[in-house]
Amino acid sequence: MAFTKRKHGLVAEINVVPYIDVMLVLLIVFMVTAPMLTTGVMVDLPEAVSEPVAEKEPIEIAVDREGAYHLDLGNGESQPDTLEAIVDKVGKVMREQPDTPVLVRGDRNVDYGAVVTLMAQLQSAGVKGVGLVTDPPAGQR
């Protein structure tokens, strides 16, 4: 009995199984880490019942526990800045887009005067109304 040798041609297929495995792992990593990526300043907000404001992208100004001001113009980055510089930047935005909402996130332990001073300065910069950001009470989350 003679054995015949068969020649097989090259297989020109890409094995995509390892790529699918990698993509699934990346998907899980991003799904787990995305909720942890909060931007802004860590502020312990007071609790209050309120209706959410959902108009256009607001300007957010945070007052942290030490009374430092942080401005977030919607780009996700927030760095400490002086009150005068923040009021100047907000004033420029308000002259261009006067209907832009302005929200203040004041830490529950911050000096009340720091928030009031900020609100008065914002009013002088042309802001018609300031929203105060709060956390919902524990039973309504």
For the record, the structure tokens of 111 come out as 């000096």
CA distance 57 to 141: 23
What pTM value is reported for the model? 0.58
pLDDT tens for 27-84 read: 999 888 877 665 555 666 667 666 655 557 788 888 888 888 888 866 666 777 888 8
Whether residue 61 contacts residue 69, with contact meaning beta carbons closer than 8 Å, is answered with yes
CA distance 44 to 29: 28
pLDDT tens for 81-128 read: 888 888 898 888 888 888 888 888 888 888 888 888 888 888 888 888
Domain 59-140: give its CATH architecture. Answer: 2-Layer Sandwich (3.30)
Nearest 5 degrees, angle CA 62-CA 79-CA 59? 45
